[in-house]
Amino acid sequence: MAWLTAELNRHIYAYHVMDAPTIPDAEYDRMFRELQDLEAAHPEAASLDSPTSRVGATPIPEFKQVTHTVPMLSLNNGFSPEDVDNFDRRVREGLGVEQVDYNGELKFDGLAVSLRYEDGVFVQAGTRGDGATGEDVTVNIRTIRAIPLRLHGDAVPSVLEVRGEVLMYKADFAKLNQRQRDAGQKEYANPRNAAAGSLRQLDSRITSSRNLSFFSYGIGALEGAAMPESHSALLDWLAALGLPVSKERAVVTGAAGLMDYFTDIGKRRAGLAYEIDGVVYKVDRIEDQRKLGFISRAPRFAMAHKFPAEEALTEVLDIGVQVGRTGAITPVARLAPVFVGGVTIENATLHNESEVRRKDIRIGDTVIVRRAGDVIPEVVAYVPERRPANVREFVMPANCPVCGSAIVRPEDEAVARCSGGWTHCSAQKKGGLMHFVSRRAIDVEGLGDQLIEQLVDKGVIQTAADLYALDQDKLCALDRMATKSAQNVLAALEKSKDTTLARFIYALGIRNVGESTAKALAQHFGNLDALLHAAAFEGGIQLLEVADVGPVVARSIAEFLTDPENAALVAQLRTHLHWKEGAHVMKPTGALAGKTFVLTGTLPTLSRDEAAALIEAAGGKVSGSVSKKTAYVVAGDDAGSKLAKAQELGIAILDEGDLQALLKSSSTEPE
């Protein structure tokens, strides 16, 4: 039993802390059941750190209280470079020194807990509560696989209180909400709420099923071991004791070092597997921390540098609709202006009608809006406690607000559409043109949305082909258009004529044809006429031969290209644009032919786009998700769930060097 306990704990650590599984799941399960059986027969011999205690226990009526012997404090917040300068200045003045080393670490967006270990064995856990007393969540914390039930090594302190944050990975959050949805249960608004809701379950078996995670960032009480001399050494020590500590930390010098760390983490934030709401700076030398001490409830030696809030509360003033380039009608919440994610938001998408019903958002509700990074703002959920009696439900209009054509919603589709088409509906016309000129399509630099609005509204252009009939006089007649800008636009249009077949297909804006399908079509057919013929032949049946093209996509392509107005546009456009036409189908050969790659994490030198382009040029395909069909996963720093999935499925994992070597050994030749 002791052997199985130690062995299973070792595998749990490898899997949940080191991200490097050591045995197949089935073998783990077999050993686990064996230990369970032995413990049932000899309960007196079960160890306190047995992994079988991680599945949760019988529900309790309420949480007991725990008192924190060393209080759990909070941090002072800062938001700007000035705040960072002031913090560093106060620290330097307080210590009477010229320069200070800091430990920069992540500000995890979860909930704080304190874990108590006695003689290396986990004995109690409490939430922060009011800082002095919290709730006893020992049984629930036990279910978190990343938290060791026994500390590693022989030299363990007699008492150690580990402080850290319980959180839920983004991928686990998505899975949990999917399960909640499938079960008709309420979804969680964000990973932090999900983590809190999952930890504070009176039935710890539910907590056990939620896959929570944990990162350590400090300690409370410590007895029977020397305190390390620096905070960074303390974190190293915690990691050596088997506790999860994020790798995203660095010792930096001065305010400039802090700002560099902040900027660097800000860039990598979206790629992290879990959410953070800023970074935390701590004076590295423990002796200096003691000298600086505390002011009211926060340390003078630390500061949280927060990112602008990504979520805020505001009121839904109305729900209108927007018409997309394919005619899709999107309900949009008109909001009381609110500052979130660094900008003021007045509109947020509600995606589609079913989504409005599912989230039950009504006019008059107070809602959580979210804007993360460059992602478009969205309404996450309404706040039930703030729903007034006179809320109104959204009604999908019968007619397009832009062109008046009927709005239709096929029974098997989630999306309602304007039936006018781009020739009748100026919203679709504008959307189509904006897509056509966008960077990944035909790429006309400097031809922005407002210019297209004006060109369409003033009737200067009707179609993408008309763009190439623009001249200086036509452009200069527009508002706010100087000669120089007009010349730039014309030069960009000229430059855009030299393109590729894949870009051209993508630029047409055919529904369901994204960049990768466009590339597959270009590669399969080699030239435009071959594609047009296939689209016109028996409802596009030949299109199904193209990898990735199923019946729905084939139908969109066939319908689009055989529509007389679209066909006329394509014919006009090809007189302006030119690309290399393949005489016959190019089939990639070489090491990468037909192989699907998944990219994850940050590679040392290549950007994601660059890596994808190299793989595709060598005949490979790049996909966004790992499945049995994936041939290779190329993993860089901060690779998260995709890497774990690849390891689970036994898929070959490459680093950038391996990829470069593989690329060298492959080539593309005509068949």
Residues with catalytic function: 107
One residue of 157, 218, 242, 588 binding ligand IVH per CB under 6 A: 218
One residue of 22, 36, 52, 74 binding ligand IVH per CB under 6 A: 74
Q: In whole angstroms, how far apart are CA 381 and each of 169, 222, 620?
A: 20, 43, 41
Residues 303-322 that bind ligand IVH (CB under 6 A): 304
Minimum Å distance from CB 280 to ligand IVH?
Answer: 4
CA dist 237 and 383 (Å) reads 43
Q: Candidates 79-87, 102-110, 139-147, 408-416: pick the segment binding ligand IVH (CB under 6 A).
A: 102-110
Q: Are 85 and 258 in contact (CB under 8 A)?
A: no
Q: Are 331 and 352 in contact (CB under 8 A)?
A: yes
CA dist 596 and 623 (Å) reads 7
Minimum Å distance from CB 220 to ligand IVH?
Answer: 10
Q: Are 615 and 592 in contact (CB under 8 A)?
A: yes
248 vs 365, beta carbon nearer ligand IVH: 248
Strand partners, 163: 114, 218
Return the closest-CA partner of residue 279 out of 292, 295, 294, 268. 268
Contact call for residue 108 and ligand IVH (CB under 6 A): yes
Contact call for residue 504 and ligand IVH (CB under 6 A): no
One residue of 112, 535, 549, 639 binding ligand IVH per CB under 6 A: 112
CB burial of 272-288 (b: ≥16 within 10 Å; e: otherwise) equals: bbbbbbbbbbbbbbbeb
Contact call for residue 288 and ligand IVH (CB under 6 A): no
State the number of binding residues for ligand IVH (CB under 6 A).
Answer: 16
What element of type H or E holds 426?
A: helix 426-437
Q: Candidates 71-79, 226-234, 343-351, 578-586: pick the segment binding ligand IVH (CB under 6 A).
A: 71-79
CA dist 331 and 188 (Å) reads 22
219 vs 546, beta carbon nearer ligand IVH: 219
Contact call for residue 137 and ligand IVH (CB under 6 A): no
One residue of 17, 75, 534, 612 binding ligand IVH per CB under 6 A: 75
One residue of 299, 432, 526, 588 binding ligand IVH per CB under 6 A: 299
Task: Report the C-alpha dihedral over residues 32, 35, 37, 39, rounded to 10 degrees.
Answer: -140
Contact call for residue 193 and ligand IVH (CB under 6 A): no
Return the closest-CA partner of residue 125 out of 111, 141, 112, 102. 141
**Residue 82 phi/psi, 5° resolution?**
-65, -40
One-letter identity of residue 356: V
Minimum Å distance from CB 276 to ligand IVH?
Answer: 8
Contact call for residue 662 and ligand IVH (CB under 6 A): no
Minimum Å distance from CB 244 to ligand IVH?
Answer: 12
Q: Candidates 50-58, 107-115, 174-182, 236-244: pick the segment binding ligand IVH (CB under 6 A).
A: 107-115
One residue of 169, 217, 307, 506 binding ligand IVH per CB under 6 A: 217
* Residues engaged in binding ligand IVH (CB under 6 A): 73-75, 105-108, 112, 128, 165, 217-218, 280, 299, 302, 304
